[in-house]
Chains A and B, each alone.
Chain A
Amino acid sequence: MAQVEHSSSGDGHAVVAEHVQRHTISLLVENKFGAFNRIAGLFAAKGYNIDSLSVGPTEEEDTSRMTIVTRGDDQVIEQIMKQLNKLIDTIKVVDLTFESFVERELVLIKVQSTPTSRPEIMQIAEIFRAKVVDISPKSLTLEATGGQQKVDAIIKMLKPFGLKEIARTGRVALKREFQGEV
């Protein structure tokens, strides 16, 4: 299976294994008791993979948007889409994978630091346009945003200093309206 290219940076894509491809699925669901549980439960019950899942309210108070990054061959992805559509609380399901879309993830990284290593860490932060959000004599906490590759890269760069804790939001995504770089 061919890898799908995306023109813009920050659009995550990776071929995991032959025929198995990573898909970013955007879901609009009724913001109702148990709706999230039903979706998470569906993935568990059918044995579908979840690489990342994020959920939050949308511009309308009674709906939530979920972004699920999952993997599977074409047949599995087709079933995932159908099964998600089948849930009564699901309003809309879109597989963004073959569209142009923006994908972002936020990460908080608490890294060990000493007076000697601090400037180097801050330099890395600057390169990645990350912000320092907390500081202590022995640590720095950075906030970085970007596509999956960028987030992976900053974590990799900071690893040698000693990572204390990491929290990632999981990816959120929206379809692009303007076809091209912004």
Chain B
Amino acid sequence: MSANKIAPSSKHSSRPMTGAEIFVRSLIAEGVEVIFGYPGGAIIGVYDALVDLSDIKHVLVRHEQGATHAAEGYAKATGKPGVVLVTSGPGATNTVTGIADAYMDSIPIVVFTGQVPLKLIGNDAFQEADIVGITRPITKHSYLVRDVRELAKTIKEAFYIATTGRPGPVLVDLPKDVMAQKTVFDYPETVKLRSYNPVVEGHLKQIKKAAELINSAKRPLLYVGGGVIQSNASDELRSLAEKIHCPVTTTLHGLGSFPENNPLALGMLGMHGTWYSNMAVEYCDVLIAVGARFDDRVTGKVEAFAAEAKKIHIDIDPSAISKNVQVDVPIVGDVKTVLKSLIDLVDPLETSDWLKTIQQWKKEHPLRYATGDAIRAQYVIQKLGELTGGDAIVVTDVGQHQMWTAQFFNWTHPRSHITSGGLGTMGFSLPAAMGASFGRTDMPVISVCGDGGFQMNSQEMATIVEYKLPMKIFIINNGFLGMVRQWQELFWRRRYSHVEISGPDFVKLADAYGCPGYRVEHSSEVEDVIRKALAYKEGPVLVEFVVAREDNVYPMIPAGQTVKEMIDTPAPVDHPSNGVKEESIMVLAKG
């Protein structure tokens, strides 16, 4: 540690210092605890400054895509912004997928990229890429710092923009020569941007209109999304739902915002939502959308989505309102703030007939699957939910296992479910779970991936082992790109085109990285291995579940269709392709 180290709390210094040092001190002033990064030529000066100022933990990932996903996982698990530091050119372009993912899912991350010196920009210099240009459509905002005197102010703005309003990724491009220039350090206390002032308070007139509509409802339904979690509004949501006796259905990102053991909970809605959620959408008379964006995986055919219902939409992003679906009462504002005002204005509603109808749907069309000796992914997830009691952070990848996890875990806490929803990025889970592990030590962090997605970012195993993160890595291995296979089976006459995928021996791979690994092939062993994995706290543990090869996710509303076309879980049949005889029907009882 260097002798001239200044107290990290200091936000000002009259001693001229390099841009690199200002950068590190700014992050300290911003309260950053961990950076996910990878050094290189253009960013080498900044990395040099990290040597003397070691208050911030720097995690050396094994690929820059891993860094952005780790920052996302950290941000989703903690509510604090994730920070990425990479070099120019390929270092920067490798962050693109993660940035796009964060943009789609409104995750606050700040990505710092090295850049070639100002005078070389545009010259096709070594490791030059116009990363500001490349990422313009997938960032909330971006900066190219052209003068060291702008640096501290720019960093302050970047964090402010990333974390306020509808959160999102901000990119700051740092030319090498600018970071070597010197100036005094003066970290601004506040940010003032005349062109950016997110609305927090909802318009009272609109809130009153919404209350009137709710008070007239016979069959209300709360449709809630990730905005409830972003705004830490779970308590307010619960108070509202319980006051007006209103059932609650959540989007993929809303899972955990409302406890699924509450009788009013309907679980997830949409393409692979529960039968009863989608039926409730179809038959409700007032739909209260909270921090959700009427995504096509939720609505199916937009014109038929809750066609009979009057709609209220609460969202912090004005552009999310009336984008896909025209609503009757839009309210722009922070979800928590708006819900607080709304609760006082609504009357307790008489909804017992409506709730009885829903209860009947629940009884007739529960989430279910058939199980035998061959392991069903649904069973693994259901057991994981039971054995953790819901006290876990589960980070999924993309595909069948993602939907099964959403359906069968039984979510009870906000920020316990992390996934790539909007962009649907395979390879997300492992690095995102790693990021979550750096932010949260109070609960076990479990990465649930398919065998395809795991192989997309498996290089981060090295990072995970290096830091001895007590992560559980569950690979649901069916030897297929299962969701694409399911679509080919159902909609492409079962003509399988390049969906069979092989992999390494995952247990040996884990061993090679220095991580204990287990392979489970029979249903009877599942519970025991999950217990063992949960009990292991010394570092990561990998479990490969070899599951039934050709299983499908149900219910399913085919893309662009309506509740009328919803396919429920078929009656169990012998599945010769799996070589197993089905034995029993497992039912997930929710609420």
Report which A residues bind B (CB closer than 8 A): 29-30, 33-34, 37-38, 41-42, 45, 75, 78-79, 82-83, 85-86, 88-91
Please provide the 3 A-B residue pairs with the shortest distance between their CB atoms, ordered closest to farther: A82-B319, A88-B141, A91-B195
Closest B residue, CB atoms, query A37:
B136
Contact A86 B319 (CB under 8 A): yes
Which residues of chain B (193-210) have a CB below 8 Å from chain A? 193-196
Could you list 24 examples of A-B contacts with CB < 8 Å?
A: A30-B195, A33-B144, A34-B132, A34-B136, A34-B142, A34-B144, A37-B133, A37-B136, A41-B137, A42-B137, A75-B322, A75-B326, A78-B322, A79-B319, A79-B323, A82-B321, A85-B319, A86-B318, A86-B319, A88-B140, A88-B141, A88-B193, A88-B195, A90-B195
Q: Complex: how many Å from CA A86 to CA B199?
A: 12
Residues of B within 8 A of A88 (CB): 140-141, 161, 193, 195-196
Provide the bound-state CA to CA distance between A89 and B195, in Å. Answer: 6
Q: Which residue of chain A has its CB nearest to the CB of B323?
A: A79
The smallest C-beta distance from B135 to any residue of chain A, in angstroms, reads 11
Give B contacts to A, CB under 8 Å: 132-133, 136-137, 140-142, 144, 146, 161, 193-196, 317-319, 321-323, 326
Q: Smallest distance from the beta carbon of B128 to chain A beta carbons, Å? A: 17
Known A34-B144, A38-B136, A41-B137; judge A83-B319 contact (CB<8 A). Answer: yes
User: How distant is A39 from chain B, measured CB to nearest CB, in Å?
Assistant: 11
**Do the beta carbons of B136 and A41 come within 8 Å of each other?**
yes
CB distance from A79 to the nearest CB of B (A): 6
- Known contacts A33-B146, A41-B136, A89-B195; can you find 5 more A-B pairs with CB under 8 A? A34-B136, A45-B137, A79-B323, A85-B319, A86-B317
Q: Is B194 within 8 A of A91, CB to CB?
A: yes
- In the complex, how many angstroms separate the beta carbon of B17 from the nearest chain A beta carbon? 24
* Least distance between A174 CB and chain B CB atoms (Å): 20
B323 neighbours in A (Cβ, 8 Å):
79
CB distance from B25 to the nearest CB of A (A): 24
Chain B nearest CB from A153 CB (Å) reads 39
A83 to B319, CA, bound (A): 6
Contacts of B136 in A (CB 8 A): 34, 37-38, 41
Residues of B within 8 A of A30 (CB): 195
Specify which of A29, A38, A85 is in contact with B318 (CB 8 Å cutoff).
Answer: A85
Tell me how far the C-beta of B438 lies from the nearest C-beta in chain A, rounded to whole angstroms. Answer: 29
Interface centre among B133, B137, B319, B326 (most CB of A within 10 A): B319
A75 to B302 alpha-carbon distance, docked (Å): 15
Give every chain A residue within 8 A of B195 (Cβ-Cβ): 29-30, 88-91
Residue in B closest to A91 when the chains form the complex, CB atoms: B195
The docked-state distance in angstroms from the alpha carbon of A41 to that of B142 is 14
What chain A residues lie within 8 Å of B146 (beta carbons)? 33
**Cα distance A82–B293 when bound, in Å?**
15
- Cα-based distance from A79 to B194 in the complex (angstroms): 22
